[in-house]
Amino acid sequence: MTRRRVALLALAGVAACRAREMPRPLPVPPYQEARSGAIGRIDGRVTFPPGVDPSDFVVWLDGVRAGKPLPLARRYEIDHERGVFAPRVQGALLGGALLVRSLDATHFRVTFTSGASENVLAIVQETGAGQVVPTARPLVFEGLVLAASDERPPAQAWIRVFDQPYFAQPDSAGRFTIDSVPAGVWRMRAWHPRLGEREARVGVDSSGLSFADVAY
């Protein structure tokens, strides 16, 4: 056996050992509906620069794997009018249905792609004013989904898909409420399509009411 072959076999053995030593990420357990002994409510606020639309934020608790029941109604809507989607940002539950409505007489196509992998999840063709196309494909994976029309410039909207019900969107003053939260210390996360993501820690105990501020 040549020295070159011995060296290659040695390197292969080292690589195999390192591969075996690499820890694998643990699978995320599915969300379960469960009654908790102590639950509370989070009243929060997102502070943001002037000129930013508060409805373009979505906030959620990260890591909640058990808690209040999932709502039975999981229907969401997105409208297109004069080259703009409404809402531009929304939260939705995994496994829901999305109604894509056109309020324009023009023909256009909407492509839904995964924000993580950029894979195409669905393509919806609109051919006239008042047309409504139902689709569930954009809501089959957890994470961020981008909706973009084939217009020039393209209209864009974002859907943050969750497998748990602890998410909300702020009102016109940036305030939001998340109820029936299990006791514990949680990571509150907020996302905006231009300003990105921020987070804050919030503790929930038997007192029943907690406050959280997420600052941009």
Q: Are strands 66-67 and 32-33 parallel, antiparallel or unpaired?
A: parallel
On whether residue 37 sits in a domain, the answer given is yes
Q: Return the amino acid letter for 199.
A: E
On whether residue 77 sits in a domain, the answer given is no
Q: Return the amino acid letter for 8.
A: L
Regarding pTM above 0.75, the answer is yes
**CATH code, 183:** 2.60.40.1120
Q: Are strands 143-149 and 156-162 parallel, antiparallel or unpaired?
A: antiparallel
What is the maximal distance between C-alpha atoms in the chain?
A: 76
Q: Which residues contact 6 (CB under 8 A, 6 or more apart)?
A: none
On whether residue 123 sits in a domain, the answer given is no
On whether residue 190 sits in a domain, the answer given is yes
On whether residue 208 sits in a domain, the answer given is yes
Residue 14's pLDDT is what? 37
DSSP 8-state code for residue 26: P
State the average pLDDT for the chain. Answer: 88
On whether residue 155 sits in a domain, the answer given is no
Q: Return the amino acid letter for 84.
A: V
Q: Which residues contact 151 (CB under 8 A, 6 or more apart)?
A: 83, 108
Distance between CA atoms of residues 42 and 37, nearest Å: 17
Residue 210's pLDDT is what? 93
Residue 103's pLDDT is what? 94
On whether residue 106 sits in a domain, the answer given is no
On whether residue 127 sits in a domain, the answer given is no
Provide the terminal-to-terminal Cα distance of the chain, rounded to the nearest Å. 64
Distance between CA atoms of residues 55 and 192, nearest Å: 9
Among candidate residues 187, 183, 207, the one with its CA nearest the CA of residue 198: 187
Residue 88's pLDDT is what? 97
Among candidate residues 148, 74, 135, the one with its CA nearest the CA of residue 100: 135
Residue 3's pLDDT is what? 54
How many structural domains compose the chain? Answer: 1
Examine residue 153 and say whether the peptide bond preceding it is cis (omega within 30 degrees of 0): yes
**Residues spanned by the domain of 49:** 6-70+164-216
For residues 113 and 148, is the Cβ–Cβ distance under 8 A? yes
pLDDT tens digit string along 73-132?
Answer: 999 999 999 999 999 999 999 999 999 999 998 899 999 999 888 899 999 999 989 999
R_g of the chain, CA atoms, integer Å: 22
How many CB atoms lie under 10 A from the CB of residue 56? 20
Digit-by-digit pLDDT tens for the chain (216 residues) are: 555 554 444 444 433 434 344 455 556 789 999 876 668 999 999 999 999 999 999 999 999 999 999 999 999 999 999 999 999 999 999 999 999 999 998 899 999 999 888 899 999 999 989 999 999 999 999 999 999 999 888 899 999 999 999 999 999 999 999 999 999 999 999 999 999 999 999 999 877 889 999 999
